[in-house]
Structure 1
Amino acid sequence: MNKTFFQRKEDREPQWHVIDGKGEVLGRLATRIADLLVGKKKTTYTPHTDGGDYVVLINVQDVELSGNKMENKIYTRVSGWMGGKKEIKAKDMVAKDPKSLIYHAVKGMIDQNRHRDERLRRFKIYVGSEHPHIGQVQGAQQV
């Protein structure tokens, strides 16, 4: 009889994935990235350990939103003080920093537990097609 496999920290073998965001829809792209960061599609997936991969996202400025969401979608944050509610539209968020939109979407799709910060540190976002991780992703496939 086979015993159930539980992945340990020593068993991790993270891979590097390069994803091109050009023409991709934000939600579908964020879901794919979150699955890679968590390691959900791996056969060695164990919920209580962090067995995810590294993800390099290039051309983040060309990520699209479906419908009229670029003009209508509003992101809200509240400081806790009276009158501390801040709202920003998606198009203003992209104009200010194109990376923040995809980072916010991926962060919301990852479980809020002790592994979340480590998983988000493995997520590298770049405007344009150049990135400094050429050495790590030599054998990796572009997804």
Structure 2
Amino acid sequence: MKTFVPKNDEQNWIVVDATDIPLGRLATVVASRIRGKHRPDFTPNMIQGDFVIVVNASKIALTGGKLDGKVYTRYSGYQGGLKKETAREGLAKHPDRVIEHAVFGMLPKGRQGRSMHGHLKVYAGERHPHVAQNPQPLAITNTARTKNNEVK
């Protein structure tokens, strides 16, 4: 019996509107589509995922106290070089980086994960330059659940 190896010829373009979608829910769906886990022939050692375009990144929803409580840090390597930025400041300056940080944290680390970074395109507004690829819209449902799992 021969080993089945899926072909890597079917990569679609997906467009997602991030308006009022919680950041974590959006990031899990997008990371899963980029990785290719939605396909029935998913193979972990191959990049089979779709290209994902996220529009309206500036209108993303952060639930709870995450706007001021979530802090992004980066360190330059020098003494006193620790830079801190809250999610509110990040959304005001570069809303695309907030979504990219959340999605890239859910992708595999290493060579394969770094090559998946090019499959994500994030834009702060509604317009994107990928109209020629004919992207298909992907709807993400935004149902808030209570403690007893009842839909509001």
Query: TM-score w.r.t. structure 1 length?
Result: 0.88
Structure 1 residue aligned with 2:137: 141
The partner residue of 2:32 within 32, 35, 54 is 35
RMSD: 1.6
Q: Is the 8 A contact 1:5 1:44 kept in 2?
A: no
Structure 1 residue aligned with 2:5: 6
1:21 aligns with 2:27: no
Q: Is the 8 A contact 2:16 2:137 kept in 1?
A: no
Structure 2 residue aligned with 1:115: 112
CA distance in 2, matches of 1:142, 1:76: 32
Gaps of 5+ in 2: 140-152
The alignment of Structure 1 onto Structure 2 pairs a total of residues equal to 139
1:55 aligns with 2:47: no
What SS is found at the alignment partner of 1:115?
Answer: helix
Name the % identity: 37
CA distance in 1, matches of 2:79, 2:127: 43
Q: Is the 8 A contact 2:15 2:53 kept in 1?
A: yes
Q: Is the 8 A contact 1:26 1:63 kept in 2?
A: yes
Gaps of 5+ in 1: none
Structure 2 residue aligned with 1:88: 85
| Distance apart, 1:43 and its partner CA | 1.0
What letter corresponds to residue 107 of structure 1 in structure 2?
F
Cα distance per residue 1:89-124 (max 9 Å; x no partner): 111111111111001111111001212222111111
CA distance in 2, matches of 1:115, 1:69: 30
What letter corresponds to residue 125 of structure 2 in structure 1?
G
1:106 aligns with 2:137: no
Q: Is the 8 A contact 1:59 1:127 kept in 2?
A: yes
The partner residue of 1:46 within 31, 43, 46 is 43
What letter corresponds to residue 141 of structure 1 in structure 2?
P
What letter corresponds to residue 72 of structure 1 in structure 2?
G
CA distance in 1, matches of 2:137, 2:2: 33
Please list every run of at least 4 consecutive aligned residues from structure 1 whose deviation after the TM superposition is greater than 3 angstroms: none
| Distance apart, 1:4 and its partner CA | 4.6
Q: Is the 8 A contact 1:18 1:137 kept in 2?
A: no
